[in-house]
């Protein structure tokens, strides 16, 4: 561990503070970081504003160069940062590395984007006039992130915000501060190579909700991108809106898969197992509800019970492990309580028993729960590997069930029937931000815009035109004639 901290340049920052960091692998303390003093927040925000005044005038492709260098540094440090994600968040090795790869991918995307912050040219109704749209930087962007993607979520926001001309202030989850320190140290290497970036362009603050709140309430922080529970979003969203700031909310999901009679069940089984038990069910896009046609339900459940029984659960660093620990014991308690509620509503539970993986860690078998109906607990997000299974007869009924939860993040259908597939992604189909066909709901690529509707918060990050959320739009009308005609033919002669 000490070697890892040295390699990542966080040996000093990760020790000696008052905030204890525990590894979910065995509950051992792996670091102590210094929390940010709330009294320091106004100064930090002022530094970001100062950095903004400089950075907004740096040409966007030059800003992209900083992000390009960051991508290079991430490539060089991928193994170490991935290992730290595993140690601090409990992800299996390939998922820890995958998370860093996601950071690299968004850097590549943002570098290209830095030459493509396009606006429109618009036909003017007046002679000798030109209309156009320009996109300008907004100002400091706060990033409040969750424990389960401790580094990727920051980079999705930071890479875009930086090429868009905005400084970034990051408040990571209090459960995963070490990976945040390491990401900032790697970013520091890119900054050193870049040369003339302003002080305070990317800052890190440590602590719980009270530190986040300072960013949420400050009118000097125009963008607040907050990723976490719907509970958190309900507090943060209205506070940012009340000061007319721009919230980007990425909140909880309750993602479903519909398995139709024509589905390729071999593919469906693989997709289900990865998306329901991968990351120990702790992805916002984890599969939580399976809506299966009655004609294939028995066969599919039988195959899943078998697949679940073969899963290797334990130390996420060990070869062959597919299910690591939950983040902490409280999370395991919530899973056990949810299973009790499901049983009370007539659910049949397969798995779901605590496992002695590594002493001190919260290991538990993923659970498959056959439900007679989509009752209360099924409509909630329990952040753990529980997959509720329900049956359906008609596609309309399946889509109605899929949409009948408060959350609207990710969804999918397995079918070989073109009409069903198209119906699912149509306006009358899934109501989610992500709707896939013959692919599970989790593991999105960075090229698409990421986010969801309803209780998921409505924000979009990452690819497509999500960058517009980090810029302000300006409409310009330029009169290059010698006359002053008014729009709509209005006359105002003086
Ligand atoms: P959480 O809501 O407990 O915490 C998330 C972050 O919000 C932390 O940094 C926390 O300190 C901060 N926070 C909490 N209350 C705050 C307040 N009042 N003011 C300011 N900041 C506050 O979430 P978690 O347990 O870390 O993460 C799991 C949740 O995140 C799940 O619900 C999951 O679905 C969601 N998530 C969503 C996405 C997405 O993109 N939609 C991605 C990852 C995780």
Cβ-contact 483, 128 below 8 angstroms: yes
Q: How confident is the model at residue 376, as a pLDDT?
A: 95
Measured from the CB, is residue 466 less than 6 Å from ligand 1?
no
Rounded-to-integer distance, Cα 369 and Cα 386, Å: 7
The verdict on the CB of residue 332 being under 6 Å from ligand 1 is no
- Reduced to 3 states, what is the DSSP secondary structure of residue 206? coil
CA of 261 to the centre of ligand 1 (A): 37
Q: Name the strand (E) or helix (H) holding 411.
A: strand 410-414
Q: Is the ipTM of this structure higher than 0.95?
A: yes
Domain with CATH 3.40.605.10 in the chain: 2-251+457-475
- Cβ of 146 closer than 6 Å to ligand 1, yes or no, is yes
Q: Which of 164, 156, 48 is nearest to 105 (CA)?
A: 156
383 Cβ closer than 6 Å to some ligand 1 atom: yes
Q: How far is the CA of 39 from the centre of ligand 1 (A)?
A: 23
Cβ of 227 closer than 6 Å to ligand 1, yes or no, is: yes
Return the residue whose CA atom lies nearest to atom 22 of ligand 1. Answer: 209
Dist. CA 226 → ligand 1 center (Å): 7
Q: Is 240 in the pocket of ligand 1 (CB under 6 A)?
A: no
| For ligand 1, atom 16: residue with the closest CA | 209
The DSSP secondary structure of 78-142, one letter per residue, reads HHHHHHHHHHHH---HHHHHHHHHHHHHHHHHHHHHTT-----EE--SSTTEEEEEEEEE-S-EE
H-run or E-run covering 453: strand 453-454
Closest ligand 1 atom to residue 450 Cα is 40
Longest dimension (CA), the chain: 87
The predicted pLDDT at position 337 comes to 98
Q: Is the CB of 377 under 6 A from ligand 1?
A: no
Query: Which tokens in the block code for residue 475?
Result: 């409409």
Mutate to test the pocket of ligand 1, among 157, 226, 228, 239 (most ligand atoms within 8 A of CB): 228
Ligand 1, atom nearest to 383 Cα: 31
For residue 456, give the ligand 1 atom closest to its CA: 41
CA of 225 to the centre of ligand 1 (A): 11
Please give the pLDDT value at position 1. Answer: 77
Chain length of the chain? 494
Q: Six-digit token pair at 388?
A: 């509720």
- Going from the Cα of 229 to the center of ligand 1, the distance in angstroms, rounded, reads 4
CATH fold of 255-437: Aldehyde Dehydrogenase; Chain A, domain 2 (3.40.309)
Sign of the dihedral defined by the CA atoms of residues 227, 228, 233, 236, in that order: negative
Q: Of all protein residues, whose CA lies closest to atom 35 belonging to ligand 1?
A: 228
Report how far ligand 1's centroid is from the alpha carbon of 233 (Å).
8
Distance 149 CA to ligand 1 centre (A): 10
Question: From residue 179, how far is each of 28, 38, 171 by CA, in Å?
Answer: 16, 22, 12
> How far apart are alpha carbons 93 and 81 in whole angstroms?
11
99 C-beta closer than 6 A to ligand 1: no
CB of residue 207 inside a 6 A radius of ligand 1 = no
**CB atoms inside a 10 Å sphere around CB 42:** 12
Q: Is the CB of 253 under 6 A from ligand 1?
A: yes
Question: What residue spans in the chain does CATH classification 3.40.309.10 cover?
Answer: 255-437
Q: Is the CB of 456 under 6 A from ligand 1?
A: yes
Using the atom order of ligand 1, give the atom closest to the CA of residue 285: 34
Model-wide pTM > 0.80: yes
Q: Cα(147) to centroid of ligand 1, in Å?
A: 7
pLDDT at residue number 357? 84
Rg (CA), the chain: 24
User: Cβ(18)–Cβ(32) under 8 Å?
Assistant: yes
CA torsion 55-60-61-64 (nearest 10°) is 60
Is 250 known to be catalytic?
yes
- Residue 171 Cβ inside 6 Å of ligand 1? The answer reads yes
Its CATH architecture, for the domain 2-251+457-475, is 3-Layer(aba) Sandwich (3.40)
The pLDDT value given to residue 52 = 98
Instruction: Quote the CA–CA distance of 434 and 286 in Å, as a whole number.
Output: 12
Whole-number Å distance, alpha carbon 280 to ligand 1 midpoint, is: 17
* Structure token pair of residue 2: 């000490």
- Choosing from 80, 95, 250, 370, the catalytic residue is 250
Q: Is 251 in the pocket of ligand 1 (CB under 6 A)?
A: yes
Atom of ligand 1 at shortest distance to CA of 208?
11
Tokens representing 61 are 């492709």
Tens digit of pLDDT per residue, the chain (494 long)? 789 999 999 999 999 999 999 999 999 999 999 999 999 999 999 999 999 999 999 999 999 999 999 999 999 999 999 999 999 999 999 999 999 999 999 999 999 999 999 999 999 999 999 999 999 999 999 999 999 999 999 999 999 999 999 999 999 999 999 999 999 999 999 999 999 999 999 999 999 999 999 999 999 999 999 999 999 999 999 999 999 999 999 999 999 999 999 999 999 999 999 999 999 999 999 999 999 999 999 999 999 999 999 999 999 999 999 999 999 999 999 999 999 999 999 999 999 999 998 899 999 999 999 999 999 999 999 999 999 999 999 999 999 999 999 999 999 999 999 999 999 999 999 999 999 999 999 989 999 999 999 999 999 999 999 999 999 999 999 999 999 999 999 999 98
Three-class secondary structure of residue 263 per DSSP: coil
């Amino acid at each position: 561990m000490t070697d890892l901290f040295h390699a990542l340049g966080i040996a000093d920052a990760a020790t000696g503070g008052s905030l204890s960091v525990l590894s979910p692998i065995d509950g051992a303390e792996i670091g102590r970081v210094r929390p940010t003093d709330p009294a320091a927040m106004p100064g930090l925000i002022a530094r970001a504003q100062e950095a903004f005044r400089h950075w907004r005038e740096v040409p966007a492709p030059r800003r992209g160069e900083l992000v390009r260098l960051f991508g290079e540094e991430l490539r060089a440090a991928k193994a170490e940062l991935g290992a730290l994600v595993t140690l601090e968040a409990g992800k299996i090795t390939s998922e820890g590395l995958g998370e860093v790869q996601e950071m690299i991918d968004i850097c590549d995307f943002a570098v290209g984007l830095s030459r493509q912050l396009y606006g429109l040219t618009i036909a003017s109704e007046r002679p000798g006039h030109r209309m156009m749209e320009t996109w300008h930087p907004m100002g400091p962007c706060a990033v409040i992130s969750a424990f389960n993607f401790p580094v990727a979520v920051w980079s999705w926001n930071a890479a875009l915000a930086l090429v868009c001309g905005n400084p970034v202030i990051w408040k990571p989850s209090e459960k995963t501060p070490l990976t945040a320190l390491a990401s900032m140290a790697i970013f520091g290497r890119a900054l050193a190579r870049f040369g003339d970036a302003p002080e305070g362009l990317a800052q890190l603050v440590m602590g719980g909700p009270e530190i986040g709140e300072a960013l949420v309430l400050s009118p000097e922080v125009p963008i607040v991108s907050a990723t976490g529970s719907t509970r958190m979003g309900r507090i943060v969203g209205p506070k940012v809106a009340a000061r007319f700031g721009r919230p980007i909310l990425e909140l909880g999901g309750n993602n479903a898969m519909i398995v139709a009679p024509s589905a390729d069940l071999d593919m469906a089984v693989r997709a289900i197992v990865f998306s329901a038990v991968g990351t120990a069910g702790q992805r916002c896009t984890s599969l939580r509800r399976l809506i299966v046609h009655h004609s294939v339900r028995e066969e599919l459940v039988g195959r899943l019970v078998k697949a679940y029984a073969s899963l290797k659960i334990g130390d996420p660093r060990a070869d062959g492990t597919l299910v690591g620990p939950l983040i902490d014991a409280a999370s395991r308690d919530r899973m056990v309580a949810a299973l009790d509620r499901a049983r009370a509503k007539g659910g049949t539970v397969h798995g779901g028993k605590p496992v002695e993986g590594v002493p001190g860690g919260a290991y538990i078998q993923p659970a498959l729960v056959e439900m007679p109906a989509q009752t209360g607990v099924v409509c909630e997000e329990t952040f753990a590997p529980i997959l509720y299974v329900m049956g359906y007869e008609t596609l309309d009924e399946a889509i109605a069930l899929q949409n009948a939860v408060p959350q609207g993040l990710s969804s999918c259908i397995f079918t070989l029937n073109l009409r069903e597939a198209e119906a699912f992604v149509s306006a009358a189909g899934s109501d989610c931000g992500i709707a896939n066909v013959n692919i599970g709901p989790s593991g999105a690529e960075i090229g698409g815009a990421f986010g969801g509707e309803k209780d998921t918060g409505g924000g979009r990050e990452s690819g497509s035109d999500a960058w517009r959320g980090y810029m302000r739009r300006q409409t310009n009308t330029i009169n290059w004639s010698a006359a002053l005609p008014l729009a709509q033919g209005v006359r105002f002669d003086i």
